[in-house]
Structure 1
Amino acid sequence: MSSLAPLNHLISRFQEQTPIRASSLIITLYGDAIEPHGGTVWLGSLINLLEPMGINERLIRTSIFRLTKEGWLSAEKVGRRSYYSLTGTGRRRFEKAFKRVYSANLPAWNGAWTLVLLSQLEASKRKAVREELEWQGFGAMGPNLLGCPRSDRADLAATLREQGVEDDSIVFETRAQEVLASKALRAQVRDSWNIDELGQHYSEFIRLFRPLWQAMKDQEALAAQDCFLARLLLIHEYRRLLLRDPQLPDELLPGDWEGRSARQLCRNLYRLVQGRAEEYLANALETADGPLPDANESYYRRFGGLEP
């Protein structure tokens, strides 16, 4: 147990999930902590690393097996030891899922929209495409119409192609507007993206992690294991929030939008603990070649810049 009550509360909260989401936590661990160090670690060191989270060896092995079967991880045997890495597909999924987590700031919005009309698709296919586009930040503007104020055209084209509906979908791009967010448009945004519910989730995130931030910033010397566990839980919870967040421009969000405070809190806490967490990882994780390699350059660009 940690000496920090807020951290113990977060660990207990994770352990009380039914079932424990070990596979999801392992993906967070790989994306946040292992991939910047080469992406490959010995299974035994992974088991030891996650033991303080209350995840037993059997559950970790089962979760690793499942992630391997689903194409996230691949295994390499060296003697009697197994070393696991993200696959090429797993790495692409990770980059897609995590790229928004560490970004410094979103680009300015000029008022343009991307609209996708799905009326020519069969109902069953329309549902699958809608779910994929909603994951990319699109919202339902009408029965068969999805819209996004900040869409990546290349990602959109790739998704429509992967779904086999590139020739059956109709894509419009509106012009930039002088009035970016009218009263009617703000109301539409609330309905299309369920902004109020998402705001409540951000409020809960702040309620959970602000006490931890306050407790850790007042410590004279931070324990390395506490820093690692705090960072893992922080990114695990924040990543899950961002999967629901369409990352709408500020002009379309309420003035008291809690997502802004949640992002600042996440950035501040991450910067506070990452140095000692890195020390802990270096001592806890092992590769086939020995100690964990140093973090790559992209790691230090997270959240607008980290101290080496």
Structure 2
Amino acid sequence: MNHIEAQQIIKTEHILSSNRWLDQALQADPPRAKSLVMTIFGDAIVPHGARLWLGSLIELVEPLGVTDRLVRTSVFRLVQDGWLVASREGRRSSYALAPEAGPRFARANHRIYAPPGLDWDGRWTLLLAPNGSIDAGLRAAVRKELEWEGYAMLAPGLLAHPAGDAGSLAEILARVDGAGKIFVCSAAELPGVGARPLGELVREGWNLDGVVQGYRRFIDDFTPLRALLQEGETPAPQAAFAMRSLLIHAYRRVQLHDPMLPLALLPQPWPGSDAYALAQAIYRLVWAPAERHLMEVLRREDADAPQADAAFEARFGGLR
């Protein structure tokens, strides 16, 4: 056997191993169709104009085990829920990100692709709504939205976060019609009074056990894929897109439950840092062939489908 033949055998073995990992991942944890469509919209479609034809979406998710019928049901429900808007041109349907959903996707993308471990200045964002100050519907809506953002209910009528983002908070309160109806302030520990450190509130206000387990499971599931990609050839474009989609889908599911607290307040070692580094490494290895597959699929239905925007290549600290 000559050198070229040996190299070809090694290449084939790596491709088979990557495909085997993909098959095993889909069998072990098949993605829910609606949630997967959301992942693909945020990761792949938003950078390309936030719109695609239904036929393109069906082709993109078919290798991930999602049927034509499940895709149609998923986009119908996402339109009903206000995430997408539908349009028709003859017998074809297209789906675009709803304008009001844009800020929510932007926040989710920042959580996924920006490095964890916010610098902390010691200040907390507090929201206060004493009993009777707002109605029950608004109270429930604010709590639901802000708990998704990582806020904790520390006492009745008191929500808090040590790294609250003012812009996101303003958008959320406006969307649930809570602007001007809830007290919002910034607070810091008062020195010299013998109080417990405010940092200890993290242990009492946030249960991080599930988040830690989620990150560790993500690391266990995707570390073998990183090893395969680092040792072998670049995967085929379709397989690379499937890997990238499963990667972000799995990472996003953990991120949705992570309150995104400053690293200084988290137990050490924090597995979220290792999970981010793993996601970053795999994404950098598959994004280019995945983009080739994505553009080929999009342009079969729309010859003018745009290339990814500038923000795309800034993901994970820069893709190139």
TM range (shorter): 0.7 to 0.9
Q: Which has the larger Rg?
A: 2
Q: Does residue 254 in structure 1 map to residue 267 in structure 2?
A: yes
Q: How far did 1:133 drift?
A: 1.5
Query: Letter of the aligned partner of 1:290 in structure 2?
Result: A
* Alpha-carbon offset, residue 229 of structure 1: 0.8
Amino acid at match of 1:10: A
Q: Secondary structure at the match of 1:262?
A: helix
Give the aligned residue type for 1:9: Q
Residue pairs, 1:1-308, within 5 angstroms: 3-4=17-18, 5-15=20-30, 21-104=32-115, 107-120=118-131, 121-122=134-135, 125-175=138-188, 185-286=198-299, 289-290=302-303, 292-307=305-320
| TM-aligned CA distance change 1:166 to 1:213, over 3 Å | same
Structure 1 pair 158–35 and aligned structure 2 pair: CA distance change class (3 A): closer
Q: Which runs of 5+ in 2 are unaligned?
A: 1-14
How many residues in Structure 1 have an aligned counterpart in Structure 2? 301
Distance 2:171 2:127 in 1: 14
The normalised TM-score by structure 1 is 0.88
Residue type at the aligned position of 2:71: I
State the AA in 1 paired with 2:123.
A
Q: Is the 8 A contact 2:116 2:260 kept in 1?
A: no
Worse-superposed segment, 199-208 or 183-192: 183-192
**Percent sequence identity over matched residues?**
42
1:74-123: per-residue Cα shift (whole Å, max 9, x none)? Answer: 23333432222222123333213222111245542111111122223455
Alpha carbons of 1:90 and 1:265: their partners in 2 closer, same or farther (altered >3 Å)?
Answer: same
Distance 1:88 1:146 in 2: 28
Kindly tell me: are residues 224 and 158 of structure 1, through their superposed partners in 2, closer, same or farther at Cα, counting changes over 3 Å? closer
1:18-73 deviation digits (Å, cap 9, x = unpaired) = xx621111111111111212222221122122111111111111112222222222
CA shift, 1:249, in A, is: 0.7
Moved more, 112-121 or 194-203: 112-121
Deviations 1:178-221 (A, max 9, x none): 89xx9854543123111122111111111111111112211124
After TM superposition, the structure 1 stretch with the greater mean CA deviation from structure 2, 204-213 or 90-99, is 90-99
Q: What secondary structure, in the 3-state scheme, does the structure 2 residue paired with 1:85 have?
A: strand
1:131/1:54 Cα in 2 relative to 1: closer, same or farther (>3 Å)? same
Contact 2:234 2:285 in 1 (8 A): no
Letter of the 1:306 counterpart: L
Aligned amino acid, residue 203 of structure 1: R
Instruction: Quote the Cα distance in structure 1 between the aligned partners of 2:191 and 2:59.
Output: 56
Q: Aligned with 1:113: secondary structure?
A: strand
| Separation (CA, whole Å) in 2 of partners of 1:177 and 1:115 | 15
- Partner SS for 2:112: coil
- Between 246-255 and 284-293, report the one with greater CA deviation: 284-293
Q: CA deviation at 1:170?
A: 2.4
CA distance 1:211–1:157, shift in 2 (3 Å): same
Q: Distance in 2 between matches of 1:80 and 1:174?
A: 57
Distance 1:21 1:81 in 2: 25
